[in-house]
């Protein structure tokens, strides 16, 4: 008999049966049984031995998948080569039969008890082995933990693990996580290198290392398991032996001068899409993270007190940021005539993009156009603006603590994390006023300087 397929199982008509042979004799059968009110499909194992046909119900389809049913049938099939009577054997396992030998023979009774205990131990070990999770399941547990902790990058990590580790290596993905070796991890990284992937090799290595660290704790952590029967039995992290490739790490130290930032400010509206030009200017005014701003709705702007309310932040804690006159001018145009639930920085209407990280890639492309227009400016990215603001705010006389608060950098001391709930609004206002004045004097007002703007073919590139 040919092997069954999922399509055959799903399409089996009521009253019909289909089957396939098992490795050690007998067959796996799916029977679509008709009932008075409904019909149900059940898996059975059937075998003929010594002219007697014996069947055993395995379970309901699709609760038990074809793959799982086939494995259970294979186990039962192998068992029938070791015993004479499957039905009698099952009755003994369930404790439903009585030993037919002489009850007075204590030694035989003890032997039967020992045999029963051995079988129970075998079943327990088999159940334990069947509960061990795969690499794919380990990655899913890791991503679920990230989501439960509110990690904004959970979706990015999930996609990256699928793209670089699971889909290119399906055999490894289905391999039990506790049997994954350093060589397996090395093969994943090597395959990425062969495809020309550089920076993401270190990120994927880091994600896998973190996933196995979660696996080390999973079996004995009720908060992680949440009642699941899944286990990993991981005793060591195989990724530890795989070193990072330092040459693939980008050195993030680009810092624009005030003159460079002035060129960026004035040329952005000419070289970039209007929405992303305003976004870039707001980055200059606040020093916030681009993705945090891309998640905002118009309701985040309070024009009356010139404030920006960011609830969904990278650090996980909400922040209120003062808006200087330049930032307020940009956002006032953006929110004019629009509903409070509309995106502050709307995506294109013909093909909207909702994911903030994906839209950050659009911002990167827009900044590339700006760089092409500013032919005399050294390469920079949108992320460099945040670093530039941090540095230039210092030149403006704003101390580091207040710069950290304006940019929502995390304070890890107990006082800040546990006890201090003050919003520092007056202090932020003073700092924002200093930054506004410094921007006006050193970046925005000196417009006489030429910016060497180059447009290709008469259009903005």
One-character DSSP codes across 71-84: HHHHHHHHHHTT-S
Options 3.40.50, 3.30.750, 1.20.1250, 1.10.150; CATH for 135-248 is 1.10.150
Positions of CATH 1.10.150 in the chain: 135-248
Q: Name the 3-class secondary structure at 401.
A: helix
Q: Is 63 exposed, middle or buried (0-12, 13-18, 19+ CB in 10 A)?
A: exposed
Can you tell me the distance from the alpha carbon of 379 to that of 360, in angstroms, rounded to the nearest whole number? Answer: 18
Residue 211: closest CA among 151, 146, 132, 131 = 146
Angle formed by the axes of helices 425-439 and 382-395, nearest 10°: 100
The predicted pLDDT at position 44 comes to 94
Alpha carbons within 13 A on the beta-carbon side of 116: 17
Can you tell me the distance from the alpha carbon of 192 to that of 246, in angstroms, rounded to the nearest whole number? Answer: 16
- Enclosing H/E stretch for 182: helix 182-194
Q: Where are the beta strands (DSSP E) in 311-425?
A: 319-322
**Cα 339 from chain centroid?**
32
Contacts of 279 (CB under 8 A, 6+ apart): 290, 293, 294, 345, 363
Q: Is 177 exposed, middle or buried (0-12, 13-18, 19+ CB in 10 A)?
A: buried
Cβ–Cβ under 8 Å, residues 135 and 230: no
Can you tell me the distance from the alpha carbon of 439 to that of 396, in angstroms, rounded to the nearest whole number? Answer: 9
Positions of CATH 3.30.160.390 in the chain: 1-96
Cβ–Cβ under 8 Å, residues 172 and 183: no
| pLDDT tens series, the chain, 461 aa | 788 999 999 999 988 999 999 888 889 999 998 876 788 899 999 988 878 888 899 999 999 999 999 999 999 999 888 888 888 887 877 764 555 455 567 777 788 888 888 888 888 778 777 889 999 999 999 999 999 888 878 888 999 999 999 999 999 999 999 999 999 999 999 999 999 888 789 999 999 999 999 999 999 988 888 878 899 999 999 999 998 887 765 556 788 899 999 999 999 999 998 889 999 999 999 988 888 888 888 999 998 889 989 887 766 678 888 999 999 999 999 898 889 888 888 876 544 556 666 677 788 888 899 999 988 888 888 888 988 999 999 999 999 999 988 887 776 666 666 667 788 889 999 999 999 999 999 999 865 444 443 333 333 32
Q: Name the 3-class secondary structure at 65.
A: coil
CATH, domain range 1-96: 3.30.160.390
Alpha carbons within 13 A on the beta-carbon side of 382: 29
Hey, how many other C-beta atoms are within 10 angstroms of the C-beta on 30?
21
Q: Name the 3-class secondary structure at 381.
A: coil
Alpha carbons within 13 A on the beta-carbon side of 361: 6
Positions of CATH 1.10.443.10 in the chain: 258-444
Can you tell me the distance from the alpha carbon of 130 to that of 43, in angstroms, rounded to the nearest whole number? Answer: 19
Global pTM reads 0.54
The predicted pLDDT at position 98 comes to 55
Its CATH class, for the domain covering 258-444, is mainly alpha
Cβ–Cβ under 8 Å, residues 397 and 286: no
Hey, how many other C-beta atoms are within 10 angstroms of the C-beta on 445?
10
**Cα 290 from chain centroid?**
20
The predicted pLDDT at position 151 comes to 81
DSSP H helices, 132-273, are 135-148, 154-161, 170-173, 182-194, 199-218, 222-225, 258-271
The predicted pLDDT at position 81 comes to 87
**What letters, b where the CB count within 10 A reaches 16 and e where it falls short, cover 186-202?**
eebbeebeeeebeeebb
Contacts of 28 (CB under 8 A, 6+ apart): 4, 19, 20, 21, 22, 43, 44, 45, 58, 69, 70, 73
- Cα–Cα distances in angstroms (integers) from residue 322 to residues 236, 290, 424, 435, in the given order: 48, 17, 11, 11
């Amino acid at each position: 008999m040919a092997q069954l397929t999922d399509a055959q199982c799903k399409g089996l008509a009521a009253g019909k049966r289909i089957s396939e042979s098992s490795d050690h004799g007998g067959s796996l059968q799916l029977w679509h049984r008709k009932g008075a009110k409904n019909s149900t499909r059940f898996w059975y194992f059937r075998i003929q031995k010594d002219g007697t046909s014996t069947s055993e119900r395995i379970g309901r389809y699709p609760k038990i998948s074809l793959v799982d049913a086939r494995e259970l049938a294979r186990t039962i099939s192998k068992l029938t080569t070791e015993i004479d009577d499957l039905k009698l054997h099952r009755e003994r396992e369930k404790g439903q039969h009585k030993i037919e030998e002489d009850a007075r023979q204590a030694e035989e009774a003890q032997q039967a008890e020992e045999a029963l205990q051995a079988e129970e131990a075998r079943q327990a070990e088999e159940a334990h082995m069947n509960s061990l999770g795969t690499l794919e399941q380990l990655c899913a547990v890791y991503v679920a933990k990230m989501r439960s902790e509110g990690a904004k990058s959970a979706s990015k990590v999930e996609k990256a693990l699928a793209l670089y580790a699971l889909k290119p290596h399906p055999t490894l993905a289905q391999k039990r996580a506790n049997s994954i070796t350093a060589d397996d991890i090395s093969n994943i990284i090597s395959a990425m290198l062969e495809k020309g992937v550089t920076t993401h090799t270190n990120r994927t290595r880091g994600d896998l290392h973190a996933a196995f660290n979660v696996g080390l704790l999973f079996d004995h952590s009720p908060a992680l398991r949440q009642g699941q029967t899944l286990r990993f039995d991981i005793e060591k992290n195989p990724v530890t032996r795989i070193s990072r490739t330092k040459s693939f790490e980008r050195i993030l130290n680009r810092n624009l001068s005030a003159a460079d930032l002035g060129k960026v400010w004035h040329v952005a509206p000419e070289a970039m899409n209007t929405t992303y030009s305003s976004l870039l200017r707001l980055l200059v005014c606040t020093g916030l993270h681009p993705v945090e701003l891309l998640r905002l709705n118009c309701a985040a702007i309070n024009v009356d007190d010139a404030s920006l309310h960011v609830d969904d932040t990278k650090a996980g804690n909400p922040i209120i940021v003062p808006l200087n006159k330049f930032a307020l001018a940009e956002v006032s145009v953006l929110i004019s005539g629009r509903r409070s639930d509309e995106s502050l920085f709307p995506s294109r209407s013909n093909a909207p993009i909702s994911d903030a990280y994906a839209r950050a890639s659009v911002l990167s492309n827009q900044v590339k156009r700006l760089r092409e227009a500013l032919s005399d400016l050294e390469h920079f990215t949108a992320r460099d603006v945040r670093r530039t603001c941090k540095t230039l705010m210092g030149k403006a006389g704003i101390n580091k603590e207040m710069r950290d608060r304006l940019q929502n950098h995390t304070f890890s001391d107990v006082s800040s994390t546990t006890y201090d709930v003050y919003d520092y609004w007056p202090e932020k206002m003073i700092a924002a006023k200093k930054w506004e004045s410094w921007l006006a004097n050193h970046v925005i007002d000196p417009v006489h300087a030429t910016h060497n703007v180059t447009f290709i073919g008469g259009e903005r590139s």
